[in-house]
């Protein structure tokens, strides 16, 4: 292998995608070619033809759309992914590698406990088709830290509102997870956020897009993911032993919304503020 890599980006206009690409490029010294799916001239045929003509040793995909297209045409060459939400639901080949987009469940729960020491019960809505094993693990990890997770599985989005209302009656906060069975569209997401606000229950979330609605957000650090992907590509080229084909992200990004924390009367461990990357409503702290 000479190390030639095609980087397929689901959309360079998305900040976390562009940051991952930038860091990958800066830390991977071998030859690279780029496909940006924001480019209107890019379609499935162009991606297929580019892979065929460039004959890369590795394909690095950023985001789900890029991955799903590239997966069809890898021809068993190494495929590396990053920035996929809930990668477990996607097809994976024997030569597929990547960096998880989610912060490890134990770390997330530890952060909940660290920031909000009085939180005792967390509610989680999920679809067993996508997150049963993940939720089972979360329940066990939380129990060790003295937190009870009330997990409710739904298989029909029509039951979302009733299930959510009942769940919110018995928990201290809603832990929003990236579950395509629960968050199937903007309408379902709107129900989750609106009902939580109506019930005066804080939301803990997994992406910066929730920073104005959630009290607490924790997600993987995009620059670190780009660097990890570059290191993974180099290991493949150099034929180094790879223990974990899908790696946990090495860094995390934390946002807290002080206005939401105040509105919902959450007890905040102020010593934890040194761990925060971004504070929303910082004037509330003064």
For residues 174 and 260, the answer to whether their CB atoms sit within 8 Å is no
Contacts of 80 (CB under 8 A, 6+ apart): 58, 59, 60, 61, 96, 97, 98, 229, 232, 233, 236
For residue 49, the model assigns a pLDDT of 94
| Shared domain check, 109 and 80 | no
Whole-Å CA distances, 255 to 103, 115, 251, 272: 14, 11, 14, 12
Q: Checking phi first, is residue 247 left (phi over 0); if not, alpha (psi -120 to 50) or beta?
A: beta
| Shared domain check, 277 and 230 | no
Which tokens go with 282?
């910082």
d(CA 266, CA 263): 8
| Shared domain check, 21 and 39 | yes
Q: Where are the alpha helices (DSSP H) in 116-249?
A: 128-144, 160-168, 186-198, 222-237
**Greater confidence, 251 or 236?**
236
Range of the structural domain that residue 96 is part of: 5-100+222-247
Percent of the chain with pLDDT over 70: 98
For residue 286, the model assigns a pLDDT of 46
Mean pLDDT of 261-277: 94
Confidence category of residue 258, pLDDT binned at 50, 70, 90: very high
Whether the predicted pLDDT of 283 surpasses 60: no
Whether the predicted pLDDT of 128 surpasses 70: yes
What is the 8-class DSSP label of residue 1? -
**What pairs with residue 163 in β-bridges?**
none
Q: pLDDT of 214-232, one tens digit each?
A: 999 999 888 999 999 999 9
Query: pTM of the prediction?
Result: 0.79
| Shared domain check, 276 and 154 | yes
| Shared domain check, 71 and 26 | yes
CB-count burial class (<10 Å; 0-12, 13-18, 19+) for 14: middle
Helix (H, G, I), strand (E, B) or coil at 235: helix
| Shared domain check, 265 and 140 | yes
| Shared domain check, 273 and 169 | yes
A 10 A CB-CB count for 55 gives 11
Whether the predicted pLDDT of 89 surpasses 90: no
Whole-Å CA distances, 234 to 82, 101, 247, 277: 15, 20, 15, 30
Which of 236-274 are b and which e, b meaning 16 or more Cβ less than 10 Å from the residue's Cβ?
A: bbeeeeeeeeebebeebbbbbbbebbeebebebeeeeee
For residue 119, the model assigns a pLDDT of 95
| Shared domain check, 262 and 198 | yes
For residue 138, the model assigns a pLDDT of 95
| Shared domain check, 178 and 128 | yes
Average pLDDT score, the chain: 92
Confidence category of residue 87, pLDDT binned at 50, 70, 90: confident
Q: pLDDT of 150-184, one tens digit each?
A: 999 998 777 899 999 999 999 999 999 988 889 88
Pairing of strands 252-257, 216-220: antiparallel
| Shared domain check, 235 and 145 | no
| Shared domain check, 263 and 132 | yes
Whether the predicted pLDDT of 285 surpasses 90: no
For residue 2, the model assigns a pLDDT of 86
Whichever domain contains 241, its CATH number is: 3.40.50.2300
Which tokens go with 16?
């976390």
Mean pLDDT of 260-278: 94
Percent of the chain with pLDDT over 90: 79
Confidence category of residue 38, pLDDT binned at 50, 70, 90: very high
Confidence category of residue 240, pLDDT binned at 50, 70, 90: very high
Which tokens go with 49?
């033809």
| Shared domain check, 150 and 79 | no
**What is the total count of domains within the chain?**
2
Place of tokens 């105040």: 262
For residue 155, the model assigns a pLDDT of 80
């Amino acid at each position: 292998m000479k190390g030639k890599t095609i980087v397929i980006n689901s959309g360079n206009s998305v900040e976390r995608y562009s940051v991952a690409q930038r860091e990958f490029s800066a830390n991977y010294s071998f030859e690279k070619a780029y496909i940006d799916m924001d480019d209107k001239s890019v379609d499935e045929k162009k991606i297929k033809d580019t892979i065929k003509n460039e004959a890369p040793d590795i394909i690095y995909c950023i985001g789900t759309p890029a991955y799903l297209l590239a997966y069809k045409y890898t021809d068993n060459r190494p495929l590396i992914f990053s920035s996929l939400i809930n990668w477990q639901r996607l097809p994976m080949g024997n030569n597929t590698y990547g960096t998880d987009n989610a912060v490890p469940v134990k770390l997330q729960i530890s952060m909940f406990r660290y920031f909000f020491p009085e939180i005792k019960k967390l509610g989680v809505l999920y679809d067993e088709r996508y997150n049963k094993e993940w939720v089972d693990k979360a329940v066990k990890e939380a129990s060790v830290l003295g937190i009870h997770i009330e997990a409710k599985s739904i298989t029909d989005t029509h039951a979302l509102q009733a299930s959510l209302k009942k769940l919110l009656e018995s928990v201290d906060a809603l832990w929003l997870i990236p579950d395509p069975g629960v968050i199937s569209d903007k309408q379902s997401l709107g129900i989750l956020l609106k009902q939580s606000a109506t019930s005066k229950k804080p939301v803990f979330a997994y992406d910066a897009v929730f920073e104005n609605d959630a009290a607490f957000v924790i997600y993987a650090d995009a620059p670190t993911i780009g660097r990890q992907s570059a290191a993974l590509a180099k290991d493949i080229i150099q034929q180094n032993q790879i223990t974990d084909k899908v790696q946990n992200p090495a860094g995390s990004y934390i946002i807290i919304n002080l206005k939401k924390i105040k509105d919902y009367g959450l007890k905040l461990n102020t010593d934890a503020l040194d761990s925060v990357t971004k504070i929303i409503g910082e004037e509330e702290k003064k």
